[in-house]
Structure 1
């Protein structure tokens, strides 16, 4: 099976998806929209109309030169390029922010022409307003696994006798809402009568993906304060490390954390403070790893293959009919 992937940027989870599909025998070619200027993967940041116009001839040239079975458009802004041809079936994968705002308008205008759509959560499917497969991105359970906390603290240079709240992004990443994380941490210190040194809010940016598990194992809690998400991998990766998670009610986080303790979801700043206080007072790791096994890349890869085969079978039936 030969698949042409269109993508706005080669995020870690996207490259892991490609690696998984190739291990399962899919021949893949990837075309990336030019001109990405990102802050921790902020989709489309820094691009203008010119970059997206440059992408169309690249796609058409590749389709003329390659012998593909289907097109897989990753992120809604790649959908227009996939549906400008009428020969190959199209699978569209949405990541989260592409179902709201301007990106969401583009996505919805193109979705009807796609043969299959995958979204990260029920919330995304509701926002899209169309039938879609709920398919979270996978995680690498061999890379993200529990390790000794004190050893992890030593490896990242943190004091193991302090409590560390991990905000796993750059403070400049606007959609992740660092100001809220800062307020929640400050109020948590006040509630626990702790100093800035006793409870530290840690941020990471530009860290190689293979080192992220060390930071997660060194932390006492992961704090996610995003305004919107699809199925945030940082939450699932934290779960795989048994790191407690406190998060806003975005994407599929509430579903993921349903049976995980200690961890919690808050819909208000007050609730987030309550949840973070409870996690830090517990001084324990979570049972998240058991809950996240279902989204290993191997299982997600099999589900993507099932979607490909279903789309191709339907396309063959239409041709025969």
Structure 2
């Protein structure tokens, strides 16, 4: 197949939608011809020239969606209809929907429907079904289970020494954007309590909110703002992963950092964010919380009761290899429909 992925892979791959585009393209390229175009470059002649010359069978818009992405797909549909001998199948996914009621009305009026919408939550399945879209509930999220692996205590100690963390400290990790919407400032009350040390690793793909950064540093937490090529090592040296985000617009529907932590078999404490409760059941080291007060209780359970952690077993189904195989089946079905 000739597959055109619309998504951003420029710069550091330390943001959710970049991560998805990069990992899909990397694995699809092993068996197919793949062209990756950044939808932000749609105003350039090069974007349209490459699209025409590539003659794709599949065009898959990965980020968003937003009103602009639907308009762009409408333009692409018109463009390919008149410049490519065969009509490519159009696919859209919903890792971070940004659609107002007004946007929905516009989308329905301009009839900007792809051949299939791959949605990542039951909520969005219902929304797009009501709009008359051909919708599949599809897990367009994953983790590199060969990169994010558990390590033994010896390796953990080595990593702690390398990164400058005390062996006796209980490292509580969060990876993601350093901004108020992630609710990470709620964790500062844990800093220093019962040897807990909060480590925040930010994304270089988005701006750091100075106020949040300052408050975290003031509390004594470690805040890393530079790009970490081997981010798996930060998970491997940690004792627990925390995802306290509640606001829906501050992460993709299934936060990849949660999957990465689980793949390293860390205990994970997370809010019932997005589609996480739809794909995982609590237990075996995975704790769902609804209020901030429940975080410390979960930490006590992890530290004092010596629970058996099996979070890696829960996430193996979502290896990028498995996801890409399922995605290839969707593409093939579209082409033979």
Q: Which residue is 2:137 aligned to?
A: 133
Q: Which residue is 2:36 aligned to?
A: 30
Q: Structure 2 stretches of 5 or more lacking a match?
A: 11-17, 82-87, 205-225
Q: Can you list the C-alpha shifts for 1:60-82, whole angstroms capped at 9, x where unaligned?
A: 33333322112111121433222
Q: Which residue is 1:15 aligned to?
A: 22
Equivalent positions of 1:87-126 (< 5 A) are 87=81, 88-96=88-96, 98-101=97-100, 105=104, 109=108, 113-126=113-126
CA distance in 1, matches of 2:50, 2:320: 28
Tell me if structure 2 keeps the 8 A contact 1:168–1:203: yes
- Describe the SS at the equivalent of 2:334: helix
Q: Does 1:66 align with 2:73?
A: no
Equivalent positions of 1:1-321 (< 5 A) are 1-8=1-8, 11-23=18-30, 25-34=31-40, 54=43, 57-75=45-63, 76-77=65-66, 78-84=69-75, 85-86=77-78, 87=81, 88-96=88-96, 98-101=97-100, 105=104, 109=108, 113-129=113-129, 131-148=135-152, 149-172=156-179, 174-183=180-189, 185=190, 194=193, 198-205=195-202, 206=204, 208=227, 210-226=229-245, 227-228=247-248, 229-258=252-281, 260-282=283-305, 286-314=309-337
Query: 1:305/1:261 Cα in 2 relative to 1: closer, same or farther (>3 Å)?
Result: same
Tell me if structure 1 keeps the 8 A contact 2:243–2:270: yes
CA distance in 1, matches of 2:230, 2:284: 25
Q: Give the drift of 1:124.
A: 3.7
- Describe the SS at the equivalent of 1:118: strand
Q: Structure 1 stretches of 5 or more lacking a match?
A: 35-50, 315-321
Q: Give the drift of 1:301.
A: 0.7
- Describe the SS at the equivalent of 1:311: helix
Q: Can you list the C-alpha shifts for 1:24-64, whole angstroms capped at 9, x where unaligned?
A: x1211111144xxxxxxxxxxxxxxxx77x26x55433333
- Describe the SS at the equivalent of 1:13: helix
Q: Can you list the C-alpha shifts for 1:251-278, whole angstroms capped at 9, x where unaligned?
A: 2222444154222111222233432332
Query: 1:58/1:263 Cα in 2 relative to 1: closer, same or farther (>3 Å)?
Result: same
Q: Which residue is 1:318 aligned to?
A: none
CA distance in 2, matches of 1:203, 1:152: 16
Once the two structures are overlaid, the 10-residue window that deviates more, 101-110 or 144-153, is 101-110
- Describe the SS at the equivalent of 1:294: helix
Q: Which residue is 1:317 aligned to?
A: none
RMSD across aligned C-alpha pairs, in angstroms? 2.9
Query: 1:284/1:203 Cα in 2 relative to 1: closer, same or farther (>3 Å)?
Result: farther
Q: Give the drift of 1:210.
A: 4.5
CA distance in 1, matches of 2:54, 2:46: 12
CA distance in 2, matches of 1:112, 1:120: 20
Q: Give the drift of 1:248.
A: 1.0
How many residues align structurally?
284
Q: Which residue is 2:212 aligned to?
A: none
Q: Which residue is 2:213 aligned to?
A: none
Tell me if structure 1 keeps the 8 A contact 2:70–2:107: no
Calculate the TM-score normalised by the size of structure 2.
Answer: 0.74
Tell me if structure 2 keeps the 8 A contact 1:3–1:29: yes
Q: Give the drift of 1:146.
A: 0.5
